[in-house]
Amino acid sequence: MTLPIAVLASGRGSNLAALLDAHAAGKLPVAFKLVAGDKADAPALRNAEAHGIPTLALDPKTFASRREFDEALFANVAASGAELVVLAGYMRIIDAGVTAQWHGRMINIHPSLLPKYRGLHTHRKALKAGDAEHGASVHFVSAELDGGPVIAQARIDVRKGDTEDSLAARLLPQEHRLMVASVDAIARGTVREHDGAVWFHGRPIAAPLRLDASGSLAAA
Sign of CA dihedral 17, 139, 146, 114: negative
Distance CA 114, CA 110 (A): 8
Distance CA 97, CA 47 (A): 30
Main-chain phi, psi angles of 104, to 5 degrees = 75, 5
Whether 139 is a known active-site residue: answer: no
Per the residue annotation, which of 23, 51, 110, 201 is the catalytic one? 110
Number of Cα atoms under 13 Å in the Cβ half of residue 60: 13
Beta bridge partners of 153: 137, 210
Catalytic residues: 110
